[in-house]
Structures are given as C-alpha cells and as structure tokens.
Amino acid sequence: MPLSGVADLVGRVLVDRYRLVAPIGAGGSGRVYVAEDVRLRRRVAVKVLHAALADDAGFLRRFRAEAQHAASLHHPNVMAVYDWGQDTVPFMVLELLTGGSVRGMLDAGHRLTPSQAAYVGRQVAAALSYAHTRGLVHRDIKPANLLFDEHAIVRVADFGLARALAEASWTEPAGTVVGTTRYGAPEQASGVALDARADLYSLALVLVECVTGTVPELADSPFGTLARRGQVPITAPPELGALGPVIERAGRPDPDERYPDAATMGDALATAARQLPPPGSLTLVGLGAALEDPHPTRTGRSGQLFDQDAEPTVATGVVDAETMDALLVDGAPRRRRSGRAVPFVVAALVVAVLVAAAVLVARSAGGSTVDAPQLVGLDEAAAATEASAAGVLLEITRRDSDDPKGLVIAQDPSPGSWLSERGTVRVVVSRGPQPVPIPDVAGQPEADAVATLEQARFAVVTQHRNDENVRAGLAIGTDPPVGTQQTPETEVTLVVSTGPAPVLVPNVAGDAYDVAAARLQSSGFTVERVDEFSTTVEKDKVIRTAPAGGERVARGSQITVVVSKGPELVKVPNFRNDTLEQAQQKLAASGLVGDFQNYLPDRVVRAQEPEPGTDVPRGSKVTLVFIRSS
C-alpha cells in the first residue's frame, strides 16, 4: 500500500506521550499505528498525517477545529477521538479497534451476504444520522473507514478529516482528489458543498462492494468516475436481493431523489433485513501481530526537551523475521521475505548476541546496575516515589509546556535503560502552559474572528446576540474580554452580532393614513401605501398592514399600509323589458344582486328599484318586478 510519503516512525514517542509500536494501515493522507499512551498506560491507535501538512497553517487550523468537533461525537458506531496534536507532523489519537476493517475483510476474500451487508449498513447509517444531526458530514465513507471492535460492532472512522484535507493547500503526490473518489458521490465533481446525502450515496457503493466484490460505475479516471455517476444511477445487482431497492434509491445521481437523511435510509435497511434470513457471524480479520510490541523496552524521544540527547538504549529483545512479516497493513499480511535475506538475518542475530554479551560483562565488572523506571506521565511526587523505589536519583528541570503543571513530560535516560545504582535520571517537569492575552477581534467577520482566536490557541464557542450598533455577522467582543491573560486551550466565548433587535410593528388598523404613517415612521419603518375598496372600513382609514401589527421585524423594514377607498360604486343598469336571462347577465356584469318578483317564464321586467343610473355600492340588491309581456 502506498505510504504517501509518510516515514516509518515505529519506536518514536509523539509529544512525549504516544509511543508508536507498529503500523496497521496507510493511505494517501498518512499512516496509522498501534501506540501506547505512556501516561494512561493503554493501547491506542495514532493516525500520523503527511509531513507536508505541517507547513499548511490553514490546514492545521481546520484540522484542529475538525478534530475537536469529531472528539465531541459519542456514539456506539463512531470511533472515539481521544486527542490530537503536532510533533513535526500532525496526528490524531483514536480508540484502538482490534477487529480490522471492511477493507481488510474484502481484501482477504470474505464477501458479505445481503443479510450481513444490511447489518453493517444499519450501523453505519446510525452513526451518520448521529453525526449529520450535529452538522458533521463525513465526506469519505469507504471500506477502510468502517472498522470493527472485537464483538463485530461497526465503528465509522475519520469524521472531519476529509473536510480538513479538502480545504488544505497540500495535494497528494499522485495528484489524486482528497477524499476517495472511488466511493464519491457525483456532486463531488461540481465543487458544491457536500451534504449528508453524499454520505448515503457512498454507503450504497460500499454495500454493493461488500456483497459483489466490485464497486459500481467506475471509469478510467477519478473525474471520469464522478462524471459517469452524474449521468447513470446505480443499478443493484441481483445478488443484493431485498437490499436492491435501498441501494438504487440511495444511488441516484440527483441528491433530491435519494433518501432525505441517514435515519430514513437506516429504516429502509431494517425493512429489507426483515425480508432476508438472519445474518451469519462476520469473519473478522483483526490486527494480528501488529498488537505485539516489537520493542517492549524502547521509548523514543523528540530530543527537544533536553540540552543533549541521552545515551542510546540497548535493546533487550530481538523480533524474529516471522513476527515482523506478520504485521498487517489494512488487514492484508505483508509478503514474506525471500530466502536471500536469511544470511543477513543470521548475521544480525550474531551481532545482537555479541552486543548483549558485552553489555552483560560490563554490568558484572562495573558494579550493581538498575533499569531506569518509567516516569513520563507521572506527577512530580509520584515520579519521586517511583525513582526512590528503583534506587535512582532525580534531576529536575522545569519547562513551560501545554501539559498540566507538575507533570513529568520527558526523561533521560529512557525507561528500561541501564544505569548504575544511585545513578541520576533527568526529568522535565511541566510548569504548565504560559497564559497569553485574548486578542481584539471586535469588528471582524465571524469566520476571521474565530480564526484569530484559534491561532492564539483558544477553544472558541460562538454566541449570537442583537446589537444596535454592530452590523450583523461582525464580532462584538469576547468573554473573557480582550487583553485578559488565559492559558491556551481555555474556552473563550466569541460574541457575534445579529444586528439590531427586531422592532414591534404598531397596530394602526382603523387610523387615518396620515396618523398611521407617522406612527410607523417614528418606530423606524419605511411606509408604502396601497389603496383598495372596502365595504367595512371608512374611506382613507387603514384596513391592515403587512407585516401585521404586533409582529416583530427588523428595524428599517418597509411596512405596506392598505388604505380604504370606501365601497366601490356602480351604476344601476336599465332592466325594463328584459327577460330573466337578460337581467341576470346585466346583474353579473355590474356586480349587483337581483331580487326577482312575480317571475313567470312569459314575463319581462316592467319595474325596478333603484332606478336606472343610480350609483350604488357593488354587491347591492336590485328589485326587479316581472309582468306578462303584451
């Protein structure tokens, strides 16, 4: 698997806390290691990103924000994010899942039945639904990001990372699109903002591959693939059975024709699952020998906390070639070394034996020796106790750092190294991070203000409120206020204006227009007059306003005032000598209502009230008297 320029860092300790034990996966953006958290004494997974990203300030800012967002997700189907940081390269610390990935299962030749695919899909949909409702779109759903714990529970990994990479100035060496185009939705090629429905499209592609072993609608190039998917919907192969309709709806080119959200797609998968036999047990590929520490006594150091590097540590164990070759990358075993490597391995073993023998002789000749204890991660008092129990002395140097005050953040020599009894172990104890002033962001657009505070290494929480003097979208200030000294990572509230508070529209219905206009203008509104007829409101009085009185709208808004013209007047036609049919036509044309008296089929109108030519309100009644025609 290509490593995208990420060096092998096995044995190194990132930020004097995470010791990288063995690689377990690699991709275009970086490499994943099994690691040991030396402070909490637990195994974790560490994703080390490409070194070129460390020089991209925009990426680091976005990466930090996305990592914090991802760390806030707590769901049984979302991989937990424990920590993030930078130690010449940016990295994320994740929970270690030992069941392997869907990618590893497929690479090992284990396809899923439709029932098993529905089982996996429902859990992924649940994770997506949880994240989407919190404003986080994954953007890179693929088999390598779907991992299993030891109980075959699915966890979705890398939430937020694809977005941070997409906005970075760095591009991968091969020039590929950030985010796996192989599983990309067609809208990814258009440059529009991706929403939750893009993740559902990618999930549909993954489920097809789980059952059939192939990804639908692939072309010769990444962009050709996206263009093709924009024209052709996913057609579910017959092997998918009851899953077919779910796949085809989620795989339509137009996002508006897909499921509206992940919860709805999850319900559809549950319905399909009820039509399928119960799923059998999944064949997990696991991490294999990668969980074994090939250097159990070695702890790497950055070399930046002490004035001089410590003496090199002598390894006390040898990892045989069989164990090293068993390390897995994305669930696939590495190829065995050829027989031509055997002489070199034998020679290395001979040298190791000679070195070990020389060290043993030195130990017996030089008096009693002890192993340096593990002190990094302990507080100062606990480290002193541990050193006393091990029979060594402490030399303490204090440094400012982002770690809690009083915590041992480095030591020399490293744990497991030999030194003479009553020898000295130098340790660096954190004085805690130095406080820094909160910068002045008043008047900056919200995005710029957030970036300024994040560059000062504060955790930003945004709060919106009305302000009579600050335009909407601009920063009003911060809490704590500008200039206040705070330690990095302290939560700072950014207060952003939503503009002046909405103003109550006065109720002017029934007022004369001039009076109503004056009241509205004094409240800060502009006025537009519209006249219409009314049979209920006196002429030149206000019928209503839009928006209506009692509503709250933005100051300066235009209020439409509807003013009565009084009733609409029409002239009464002459109905004399008209038949009933003729009279009805004239009434309809004039907007009048007829009152017919003495009507028979052979009669015509001989009298009417009101008289012809009289002005009456539209809708008035006209009495028509019929007599026999002569």
Active site residue ranges = 140
Residue 220 is classified by DSSP as: S
CA distance 73 to 90: 20
- The Cβ-side half-sphere exposure at 501, using a 13 Å CA radius, reads 3
Residues with Cβ within 8 Å of residue 119, at least 6 apart in sequence: 273, 279, 282
Nearest CA among 314, 310, 311 for reference residue 298: 314
Write the CB contacts of 625 (distance below 8 Å, at least 6 apart in sequence). 597, 598, 605, 606, 607, 608
Place of tokens 């009101």: 610
Bridge-partner residues for 625, per DSSP? 597, 607
Distance CA 98, CA 43 (A): 11
- Give the Cα separation of 229 and 450 in Å (integer): 37
- For the stretch 573-578, contacts whose Cβ atoms lie closer than 8 Å and that sit 24 or more positions apart, written own/partner, are 573/612, 574/608, 574/612, 574/613, 575/605, 575/608, 575/612, 575/622, 575/624, 576/605, 576/606, 576/607, 576/608, 576/612, 577/604, 577/605, 577/606, 578/604, 578/605
d(CA 62, CA 167): 8
Distance of CA 403 to the CA centre of its chain: 27
Q: Which two tokens stand for residue 336?
A: 């065995």
Closest CA to 523 of 562, 549, 543: 549
Half-sphere exposure of 411 (CA within 13 A, CB side): 29
Query: Within its chain, how far is the Cα of 478 from the centroid?
Result: 25
Q: Who contacts 314 (Cβ-Cβ below 8 Å, separation ≥6)?
A: 355, 356, 359, 417, 418
Half-sphere exposure of 224 (CA within 13 A, CB side): 4
